[in-house]
Amino acid sequence: MDERNKVAILMKKHVIMEDIKLKFLGFIQYKQNQTKIPSMGLHPDLLNPNESQSCPDITSEASHSIESELLPDQDILESIEPVYYRTDECFDCCRHELQKLPEVLSSKVIERDYKRLKQEHQVVSKKVLQLILQKQSSCKKEFERILYIQEELQNALEICKIGRADLSLAKKQFTTASLGILANYQKKQVVQGLLNSLNTIKTLQRTEDRLQELLSEGNYPRAISLLLECQSAAERYKHFHCVAALNGKLQDTLDQAEEILDQTLAKMCSDFDIGTYTSVQGAYGLLGKTQMAMDQLHMHFTAAIHNIAFTAVHAFVGGAMKKQYKQLCQSVSHEFFLPCLVELCKSLWSILSSYCQVVNWHNTHESWSLQSGQKNLEATFNKQYIKQKLENGLARMWHDVEIKISTYLMGANLAFFKFEQFVQILGIVHRLIEVGEELCASQSKNLQESIKKQCSSYFAHYHASRLDELKIFLENDGWELCPVKTSFVVTQLQEFKSLKTVLNSCKPRCGPDESNLSQDGSSAIGGLVQRYLENGMTPFDVILDETADEDILANIGDAPSGYFSEDSDDDIPEELKCEFVDEHDQTKLGKKKHRTKFTGPMVTNTTLSVLRVCGKYLQMSRLFRSIAVTVIQNMMQFYELCLYTVHNFFTSDLEINSESLYTPKLKLTLARIRTTLISDDLNFTENESQSHRVTQPNLSSIVNLTQPEKVHGLTKRVIAVESLIFLGQQYEILRPYLEHLVASPCHAFLHQFYSQTIASAIDLRKPVYMAAASQAFDVGSILGLMGKVNWEVKDVMSQHSSYIDNLLRDIQILSMRLDEIGNRIPLPTIVYNSVWENVSHLITHTLVEGFSNAKKCSNGGRALMQLDFTQLMSKFEKMTSLRPMPHREYVEAYVKAYYLPENILEDWIKQHKEYSSKHLIGLISCGCQNNKKTRQRLIATIEEERLNR
């Protein structure tokens, strides 16, 4: 324990001693009043030892006793009991000393203890005084400072009293009045704020009804704006308990509003309304959920395509709703297939049109996000996001639509549909492909693949049927004229109505890469979707197979070109417009009518039937271009079958076997058709059926080719050949469009068809007309008369031979019969000349044949030959108006060869290969009858040339 703590304990012990020494305490109080030093509880003798000597009391005695028994102070201090050094206040020193007394009190012991305690007290007091004296100067200074502070405090107290007095005066005169006013104003402000808060809370409580009203009106931006304002206000007043409950209710209303927005957004997929959509987008903009709205919109569009397709097909099927879409498509009956397809396309179009209107809206409202209060950077990002989303979404939507239509198309067997129905289906698919190409530049591969499969199946069956029908019709054709206008061309048929624009637009030799035409020949669609969006229609409202009355028949009774009398105006056109006309009905019809001269083109019902079928085929090619090559090749088969049939029918009775009647082109064409198209087996094999072969056609029994008075059916032959040539001319009209449909690398088969098959039709005139002309002359009789002529006459006679008169008589008869034919049917000059050219060919070859039969011939006989031919030629040219007579060189060159020297005759034989070996041998026999060696040499030359031919 340090010294300071001991001092403190001693001071406490000193206080205890004061209780015993009341007088000593009084003395200490006296000294305190004299020295002005605060009492510290020290012994008075220690404070002033001089004064203690003047007081004769017990103190002096104790002092004397102590001095006599003086002990070191340090020992005394150390001998003090430790208990007196305790610092707790509960220590009672008197009780402690009393408890130490023995049970039997002794005055000596008490006296001794008293002395000890007193000595200890003196030592402690002395020690304290020493310590005080050591710090006396500092204590004095501190005490003086305390006195100064006390004085300053007295001054400050006075100042405060004065200030309080002044403040009290100011309060009474100014502050109380002014601050009272301010306090009242403050209370007013608080009350007004509270009133505003209460009014706001009241408004918030009533906002629910207004929100529901705005939502029901479709004013979504105002409703969302009001909701957000209410939430903001509720956030400010959330310290009110009622507002805290209202905030949760507002959140529920906001969730309800977002649900209504989502439902309204879903309705836009099938029934777009620009006002409603603008309102919905504005509301989403205020909510800051424009991207989420766009994502939700695309989800709704995807769901709408699935749902509306399912609903459209189910409406035509009925039954349980649990079937898959593919199963529903397979369940649609044939009679409802087309209406269901139209309805399905219209339903899906409503989705596509709504999407297009959404795209148009965003294209014209690109700044809507800025108007909603968003930052420029965020608005730009949203705009780019929406633009990209709309572009990508359009392709995905079209893919979904394409899959739905493809699934529907593949769910039915279209092979046995009527052609008009199938063309409608093609037209619908073609329009769909156009829409897809314009919307998102899609090639619609799935759609094209599905319709291609259906087209291939349908067209194979349809063409086989049409080819068989054409064969049957050719076998039953009476080869009568069908009265059409002089200006009739193929494009006037109703089957070509949809092709008029493209046929007029296509230029000759115009390939697909050189033309700006689309598949149907029209220019680029250019706003197809926009056009239908503006007029409110769908691309499938137009009837694709619109029919219109044709105006191809000649004016009946009203003009000289009429074929029937005027009483046939109402009956004939309708019958003639049929695809196939029963020939027996046609014959009966002709008997009832008075025939007049007809100057129109030679057209038969067969010709019109072929052209109508070609028109239908081209409709399919226009609507689905990928099958164009197959369609055109099948169109060629129609013409080839007609060409082969006309030749087969009207040259079967050809009695002259002359190679000069057939051109190489015609020979090659007939041989090719015979190989590729005609089957000799009446029972088709599967492969033959697939290659569209037909059996050999047979001429109808009603066609009589044996009547001499009718020039052995020349009328029928002319009509057949000229209608075939006219049919070829119509194919020429279609050529630019056919080349347009087919890619340039595939033009080879088209070129072959036109340069060989079509071109060879004109060459058919010679063998067909020769078959009739050859039977108008009795060639055997003429040759017999020529054989009776004496060709060895010595003198030149002025009279021609009798066989010439027979020939001229036959020519005269034929001319009269041709005039009769010309009164019934039009005989163009080219036909007339062709007939007489064949007659001339027959006569000239007959004359050469007769001349070659002469065994001997003199110069007079040669002159007679020239005279006979000159007489015949002059009469022939006069009766036929053909100048010069065709093939006259054939006779003239042969007759003149009789005059050639033997050395030149050999070269002439080698040069003129048009004559047969028989003709040349006859010529040599007469010309070299006197020179056997030369005759044998020339005959050998002829045989050699014949082998080299």
- Asked if 382 contacts 374 with a C-beta cutoff of 8 angstroms, the reply is yes
Helices (H), ranges, 742-828? 747-752, 759-763, 765-773, 779-787, 802-824
pLDDT of residue 170: 81
Residues 557-601 pLDDT 10s: 433 333 333 233 333 334 334 443 343 343 333 333 333 345 678
**Which value, in Å, is the radius of gyration of the alpha carbons in the chain?**
68
- Asked if 440 contacts 395 with a C-beta cutoff of 8 angstroms, the reply is yes
CA distance 119 to 66: 7
**Planar angle of CA 873, 875, 878, nearest 5 degrees:** 105
Q: How far is CA 425 from CA 26, 458, 650, in A?
A: 139, 12, 42
CA distance 208 to 670: 92
CA distance 441 to 436: 7
Six-digit token string for 375: 């930052």
CA distance 174 to 168: 10
Six-digit token string for 881: 């108006």
Closest C-alpha among 540, 525, 200, 561 to residue 346 = 540
Q: E strand or H helix at 694, and its extent?
A: strand 694-695
Closest C-alpha among 432, 423, 357, 359 to residue 402 = 432
Using the 8-state DSSP alphabet, how is residue 746 labeled? G
Query: Angle, nearest 10°, between helix axes 241-267 and 274-287?
Result: 140
Q: How far is CA 225 from CA 553, 851, 937, in A?
A: 74, 117, 122
pLDDT of residue 682: 54
Q: How far is CA 227 from CA 224, 247, 254, 336, in A?
A: 5, 10, 7, 52
**Positive or negative torsion for Cα 226, 232, 236, 238:** positive
pLDDT of residue 760: 94
Q: How far is CA 504 from CA 508, 726, 733, 735, 737, in A?
A: 10, 19, 10, 12, 9
CA distance 227 to 240: 19
What is the per-residue burial (b if ≥16 Cβ within 10 Å, else e) of 249-261?
A: ebeebbeebbebb
Backbone angles phi, psi at 101, to 5 degrees: -65, 145
pLDDT of residue 151: 92
Three-class secondary structure of residue 885 per DSSP: coil
**Residue 191 burial class via C-beta count within 10 angstroms: exposed 0-12, middle 13-18, buried 19 and up:** exposed
What amino acid is encoded at 4 in this protein? R
pLDDT of residue 681: 63
Using the 8-state DSSP alphabet, how is residue 600 labeled? S
> Residues of the chain whose pLDDT is less than 70?
1-70, 194, 197-208, 231, 233-247, 320, 366-376, 506-528, 536, 542-599, 681-691, 797, 929-930, 946-949
CA distance 95 to 451: 128
Three-class secondary structure of residue 813 per DSSP: helix
Residues 96-116 pLDDT 10s: 888 888 888 888 888 888 888
pLDDT of residue 284: 87
**Percentages helix, strand, coil for the chain, rounded to the nearest 5?**
75, 0, 25
According to DSSP, the residues that pair with 751 across neighbouring strands are none
pLDDT of residue 916: 86
CA distance 277 to 282: 8
- Asked if 818 contacts 832 with a C-beta cutoff of 8 angstroms, the reply is yes
Closest C-alpha among 735, 740, 341, 342 to residue 520 = 740
Q: How far is CA 375 from CA 279, 381, 382, 819, in A?
A: 21, 10, 10, 97
CA distance 394 to 467: 45
Using the 8-state DSSP alphabet, how is residue 700 labeled? -
Question: Would residue 37 be called left, alpha or beta, if left means φ above 0 and alpha means ψ between -120 and 50 degrees?
Answer: beta
Using the 8-state DSSP alphabet, how is residue 801 labeled? P
- The DSSP secondary structure of 475-515, one letter per residue, reads HH-------B-TT--GGGSGGGGGGHHHHHHPPTT--GGG-
pLDDT of residue 80: 85
